[in-house]
Amino acid sequence: SYELTQPPSVSVSPGQTASITCSGDTLGNKYACWYLQKPGQSPVLVIYQDNKRPSGIPERFSGSKSGNTATLTISGTQAMDEADYYCQAWDSSTYYVFGTGTKVTVL
Amino acid sequence: QVQLQESGPGLVTPSGTLSLTCGVSGGSISTSNWWSWVRQPPGKGLEWIGEIYHGGTATYNPSLKSRVTMSVARSKDQFSLRLNSVTAADTAVYYCARVSVAGIPFFDYWGQGTLVTVSS
């Protein structure tokens, strides 16, 4: 089965930049999106189609992809950004696959 | 603003059937969107279960396909999930979600989730 691998945890100081990676075979041929999930809450879409930001999502969230690795970058990280982050990809054979998830801690 | 709300029993006995319904408000289920179920075991990651179109066509996660059935009630703007032969491994928060029509599929609206525990 298809897998997307993320680092289990990322720590960042307030105001600094956090980068979360998502790697998977042939991810370069798919679009990636990203969700944040705070404890006890539903996931919220923050990036779609690799680098597009939905309305209402702060500009400090950005996405990129190089080869088979997608990256979510949080610039000027705030305490409110502390959450679990999941990448997700889709194709017609594997359907929807989520990454393993990354816990972002703002120290 | 579309809103989704899951409903159903919070406790299911082992080997029984899990049944959940998702109500869609602020919009119609009879749009170009597909409608999905996603689950999350306690302390673990997200897993896609399946999706359904308002016409009734459904696609399921191959790992769950033999146990899953989804249906839609267009007149009520609802869609439903049935998962049979459940075990403790099916204990999870179950979310319903809308699949965006903006090109490549992703989930743009989510319900608040409902915890279903499988236990005797």
Q: What is the pLDDT of residue B39?
A: 98
pLDDT in tens, B89-112: 999 999 999 999 877 899 999 999
Q: What is the pLDDT of residue B32?
A: 86
Sign of the alpha-carbon dihedral angle for A21, A62, A40, A27: negative
Distance between start and end Cα atoms, chain B: 39
Q: Which amino acid is at A89?
A: A
B102 touches chain A (CB under 8 A): yes
Nearest CA-CA distance, residue B26 and chain A, Å: 18
Q: Is A33's CB within 8 Å of B108's CB?
A: no
Task: From chain A, pick out residues whose CB is under 8 angstroms from the CB of B112.
Answer: 41-42
Query: In chain A, which stretches have pLDDT less than 70?
Result: none
pLDDT score at A93:
83
Is the pLDDT confidence value at B30 over 90? no
Is A54 close to B108, i.e. CB distance below 8 A? yes
Beta strands, E only, chain A: 9-12, 18-23, 32-37, 44-47, 61-66, 69-74, 83-91, 95-98, 102-106
Put simply, whether B65 touches A (Cβ < 8 Å) is: no
Cα atoms in the Cβ-side hemisphere of radius 13 Å centred on B96: 28
CA angle B89, B73, B36 (to 5 degrees): 40
Helical ranges in B30-90 per DSSP H: none
